[in-house]
Homo-oligomer: A and B are copies of this chain.
Amino acid sequence: MARQASLSGFTELLPAERVVELHVLDSLRRTFELHGFSSLETRAVETVGSLLQKGEIDKEVYAVSRLQADEDERGGRTDPQQLALHFDLTVPFARYVVENAGYLAFPFRRYQIQKCWRGERPQEGRAREFTQADIDVVGDGELPFVYDVEMALIAAEALEALPIGDFVIRINNRKLAEGFYRGLGVTDPAAVLRAVDKLEKIGEDGVVAELVETGGATEEQARAALRLAAIRTPDTGFVEQVRALGVEHPLLEQGLTELAEVIGLASRRAPGRVVADLSIARGLDYYTGTVYETVLVGHESLGSICSGGRYDALAVKGDRRFPGVGLSVGVTRLLARVLAQKLATATRPVPTAVLVSLADEDGWAAADDVATLLRARGVPTEVAATAAKFGKQIKYADRRGIPFVWFTTTDGDGVRHEVKDIRSGEQVPADPATWAPPADDLLPRVVPGT
């Protein structure tokens, strides 16, 4: 990662780094499939009209048009039919659900692991091309609340399986915050959410000032909002702390019940991995209930590596409403940190476990027969391309990170097979029909970094 990308914001990995990325992607896929999510991909392009319909005009989208098209065929920013690359996987998935509703069985569970693109200025944790790994459950008309609990459990399990160290999933609930503000008598709860979201940036007094000046709140209301935002518990203790603030509202009650159910069940299954964090405001403007975000402990500055929440209407088709709850893992963001700080590394950059050496140029077919026997038992194997001196063939294996070299020699006693572990130098007789490397050497593995 010390290398400079030749196009800023478009990272390309080296083979050993890609082994770590593949490990992360395979692991996420496995967890998602164990929980019954179907794989899905959507096309890379959407119409600008579809991408920007949620008013996300601040997103820097990449427009796409045929290079040989006439200038007037290349729509401008005002043409809703102009094609553009998707900037997340939620908007394309919502469109897919509407288009294919007749072919899907609801509640529909899908995972989607794809590249996304944003034209924003690149910085650590923010690339122009990046991979997201999303899961969503979407219902037709209704979607039981228990899926909100399930999402937190899956997130904990999925992240637990990654080589990323400690993490905390912070959970809040839009109804809780909005109900609290309404109970306080605030006239514009959305403005309070926006102001509280700036807490880390502008501090408590800054938030109070903003709320009083532009949020239509009294100083007392503003201070109460900050007291709410200060609550953070690893269990359902937050309920009592909120009640102690003396604010009442039916929406607040509903939010407390929901958040308590998520935190209660999730902290039972994954103790220490979840906290109720009432300071979380990000996403509260578009999510309608539970919201999740996740930080790597010791890497909080990286921002959230797994975020999501509940939408009352993820998609709408005429009268039909499709509520959803989901999560998105920022694979590229996560990986950038893992690779830069060597939190995890690959045991080798190539899949190859064995190089079958060549004693002479005519021996290639026989060597390939040995390789075929090894591969038939799942051992990744290459055949040397030239009958260079054995020392040179061993050096080739060493340079590429291949741990074993196979030697076949023919003399008066017939054909003799031997295999050398070039790390230890140990060389032993071996039968190509039965030999296998130690399990740890079969495939590249990802291990904690040094």
Contacts and interface: CB of A to CB of B under 8 A. Distances in A.
A160 to B, nearest CB: 12
Interface string A11-47: 1111100110010000000000111111111111100
B63 A66 contact: yes
Interface string A407-450: 00000000000000000000000000000000000010000000
A301 interface: no
A149 B351 CA distance: 21
Contacts of A7: 43, 45, 83
Contacts of A110: 15
Contacts of A69: 119
Residue among A11, A35, A386 having the largest count of chain B Cβ atoms under 10 Å: A35
A103 B14 CA distance: 8
Contacts of A63: 64-67, 74
User: How many A residues touch the partner, as a band?
Assistant: 35 or more
A383 B150 contact: yes
Nearest to A69: B119
A321 interface: no
A244 interface: no
B385 A38 contact: no
B41 A375 contact: no
B77 A34 contact: no
A389 interface: no
B67 A48 contact: yes
Contacts of A245: none
A36 B382 contact: yes
B33 A380 contact: yes
Given A14-B103, A14-B104, A69-B119, 11 more contacts: A13-B40, A15-B110, A18-B41, A37-B351, A44-B115, A60-B67, A67-B77, A67-B82, A105-B401, A144-B385, A146-B385
12 contacts: A12-B96, A12-B100, A14-B103, A14-B104, A15-B104, A19-B38, A36-B350, A61-B66, A63-B67, A67-B84, A105-B401, A109-B350
